[in-house]
Chains A and B, each alone.
Chain A
Amino acid sequence: MDNKQLWDSVLGEVQITISRANFSTWFKNTRIIKLEGGIVYIGIPNEFVKEWLFSKYDKFILKTLRDISESVRGVEYVIVTPEMKEKADTTPPSRNQQPYTQELPLSDLYINKDDNLNPRYTFDNLVIGSFNELAYAASQAVVKHPGNTYNPLFIHGGTGLGKTHITQAIGNSIKAEKTGKKVYYITSEKFAMDYINSVQNKGINEFKEKYRKYDVLIMDDIQFLSGKEKTQEELFHVFNVLYENNKQIIFSSDRHPNHIPGLEDRLKSRFGAGMIVDISTPEYESRMAIIQRKIQSNNFSLSAESIAFIAESLECSIRELEGIVNSIICQARLKNRDLAQNEIKLLIKNNIVPKKTASIKDVIRIVSDFYHIEESSIYEKTRRKEIVKPRQIAMYLLREDFSVSYPTIGEKFGGRDHTTVIHSCDKIKDSIKKDEVLVEELLQIRALL
């Protein structure tokens, strides 16, 4: 019988002889620390308990202990502070000594207050592939001749594809050249806040001064300015002053400036004056490179098959990719062995955002709502133009986004032939290339889904 069992049986005896209030006041947090030479050492939380147990329950405890184990000769009370007890309890059995995670060095989190740049983002740790090589080339040109070649530089692309990385890397590179150029990075949301504060505190002149003194101004996520007319106007003025003085301006956004709703035309036209480049999702080879880079920077290794497998099964943004690689590394460290492929598969399944799950009916409803037509008219065999277009769009979306088979789509749309559906999808695909309005509409419908 070990100490814990021994004490538990004593507590059991005590519990039935005294009231619950008394029991929980005096016997909670007690335990046997050790048994030595017939003396039982009981750990208790404080001196008050010691005093009371000693004067009131000493004999009873001793008697109960002796009933269970005859070798017991005496009882001693020792005060153990709760912290110590916890430590003793939580000390893990000595396992592998390898730390689970490496602490991030502090410099990683260090953001320079003067320019808001995070030194973590450099061109050195940027993976360049066909998906972002244009953006990379343009930004290199900007670094070499800031303010001259591509001004303004406008980088757009979906979320988590490295816009912030590239823009910040430009800032860091210009700073590293030590030409004394003043670089400043700001998100458009902060810019707007700054503007609002300056209006509140009557510091509008200081605000104007502040932004006009920079040689390189980087503004991230410009799409958040949509609808903020006064802030846009202020940005317009800042832009003009900087532009006239040949100062470099860099913008980033999640879509092409022409497709940002609520952005004033004069700003749109100015964004278009320089260079607009886009970053798309990385293709297979780039994904491999990104995974490799991520693993290396974590001092971790993964078999070539596993890397290929991850790159193959994930077609997503770099941020998601990094997230998955991180969780794989973490799991592997925790288990202290390499992960099998099915384990990686499971991780990927658990980590990626679940695919959109809208029913065919939902898609049709949303599309018909969007174009203000009766939902039922989509199913009809009419060839009216205002009906045909939504019908084709709905088919296209079902095919592209939800991978519904052509025959199924045809059936759902009132028993149409699968060739009709193929024709519809091809038609929309063709139109996308020419029709900017259609692209914008598709974007908005997708957002609704």
Chain B
Amino acid sequence: MKLDCSKDALKNAVGLAERMVGKNLSLPVLGGILFSAQNNKLLLRSTNLDVGIEIEIPAKITEEGTVVIQGNLLSGILSSVYDPKVIMETSSENLIIQASNTRSVLKCLPHEDFPTLPVVSGSEAFSMPIDKFVDGVKSVWYSASVSDMKPEISSVCIYSEGENIVFVATDSFRLAEKKIFLKEKTSFKHVLIPQKNIIEILKVLDGVSGNLNINVNKNQISFSLADKDIYITSRIVDGIFPDYRQIIPKEYVTEATILKQDMMNALKVTNLFSDKFNRVDVSVDIARKSFVIESKNSTTGENKTTVDASLTGKNISCGFNQKYIIDCFQSLKQDSIIFRFSGEGRPLVIRGVSDQSFMYLIMPLTT
């Protein structure tokens, strides 16, 4: 194999491929990235057998061939290359990477053992703008459970609903739902993408523009970016996402509209005194027009902060995990947010004012 290609394109591609390199697998070759030079394209492939990626970058190829290189080596080398171009060349068992100021000889792994990625063909296919997909995933992924105990909730669920695509994640203490409006109607059933994989996919797609083609079958999902020559595929969870609509309260007893910034500032202070459950007590007094949040810690002290709010409904006081409240601010783009209480011991719903697309639900802490 012999080729030369743009350093930036290669560095970028290696950076993405590196993320999906397998760790602690019994097959050592999976700890590497496959480079395959063919038809004036350099193909990079990496996989941990749960999620995998293929990236093609343009290259001037003088001799075709395939090598596998230890994943983390290459980005280290490329970060010290200042030339716009690098030359890659194999000699016997080694790969030589050459630029004007530096020359590295890397040991190759046996490329015959490197697996190919499954092609997801068939059943369900649709496409959507990448930024919308990223927006949808980013709005909810943090709510997914991090433990592997229940695979169906340690994943982000995606399903279509008329012209909307709905993204949902929950860890059974809180739930985030984002609806993304598409112009055309799509129809596909629930897809559960493991949370670990969706984070990696998100990092690849974030900031990229264009259209995303998604293919789903019973066990696998694939994302391909037509013009960027990126192909990602991930295992999907074979399970049923909990029927979360049942827990969304239909009626509210108290509603509070608050400036997001005010709430964030207040929570910053109460956070200092949080106990081991991160408990914060929210109490609304309609007559006094006060919205008070309060936290206590038997070792450090306590804090009570009043937040300006416009209130309707009844007096209420409830305890919540403040970390969960803080989490949802990243998904709320509006300046004002609404807290909807459905009664003591019942869930709290947070939304942005005049934003129907995002909904966040937190279960209360029991006393």
Contact = CB atoms under 8 A, between A and B. Distances in A.
A51 B26 contact: no
A100 interface: no
A81 B152 CA distance: 13
Contact of A52 (B26, B115, B218): B115
A49 B116 CA distance: 9
Interface in A13-62: 19, 21-22, 24-25, 46-52, 55-56
B219 interface: yes
Nearest to B49: A48
Contacts of A49: 49
Nearest to B222: A47
A81 B119 contact: no
Nearest to B238: A81
A246 B298 CA distance: 37
Nearest to B115: A52
A21 B118 contact: no
B295 interface: no
Interface in B61-81: none
A113 B218 CA distance: 49
A79 interface: yes
Interface in A42-89: 46-52, 55-56, 79, 81, 83-84
A201 interface: yes
Interface of B is mostly: loop
A25 B119 CA distance: 19
Contact of B118 (A19, A51, A200): A51
B64 to A, nearest CB: 19
B25 interface: yes
Contacts of A47: 118, 120, 219-220, 233, 235
B235 A22 contact: no
B297 to A, nearest CB: 12
Q: What size tier do the contact residues of chain A reach? A: 20 to 34
A50 B120 CA distance: 12
B298 A79 contact: no
Interface of A is mostly: helix
B365 interface: no
B238 to A, nearest CB: 5
Nearest to B217: A47
Contacts of A22: 27, 113
A51 B219 contact: no
Contacts of A24: 26-27
Nearest to A53: B115
A79 B235 CA distance: 11
A52 B50 CA distance: 13
B113 A48 contact: no
B119 A51 contact: yes
A51 B298 contact: no
Nearest to B113: A22
A21 B220 CA distance: 24
Contacts of B219: 46-47, 79
B17 to A, nearest CB: 16
B9 to A, nearest CB: 27
A48 B27 contact: no
A447 B115 CA distance: 69
B235 A21 contact: no
A50 B113 CA distance: 15
B278 to A, nearest CB: 20
Nearest to B117: A51
B28 interface: yes
Contacts of A55: 116
B298 A201 contact: yes
Contact of A21 (B26, B115, B117): B26
B47 interface: yes
Nearest to A81: B238
B48 to A, nearest CB: 9
A50 B235 CA distance: 12
Contacts of B119: 51
**Max chain B Cβ within 10 angstroms of own Cβ: one of A19, A22, A48, A201:** A48
Interface of A: 19, 21-22, 24-25, 46-52, 55-56, 79, 81, 83-84, 200-201
Given A46-B219, A46-B220, 15 more contacts: A19-B113, A21-B26, A25-B49, A47-B120, A47-B219, A47-B235, A48-B47, A48-B115, A48-B117, A51-B115, A51-B119, A52-B115, A56-B115, A79-B219, A201-B298
11 contacts: A21-B27, A22-B27, A22-B113, A46-B220, A46-B235, A47-B220, A48-B50, A48-B117, A51-B119, A52-B116, A79-B219
Rank and list the top 10 A-B pairs by shortest CB-CB distance, nearest first. A51-B118, A25-B27, A47-B118, A47-B220, A52-B115, A81-B238, A48-B49, A79-B219, A24-B26, A21-B27
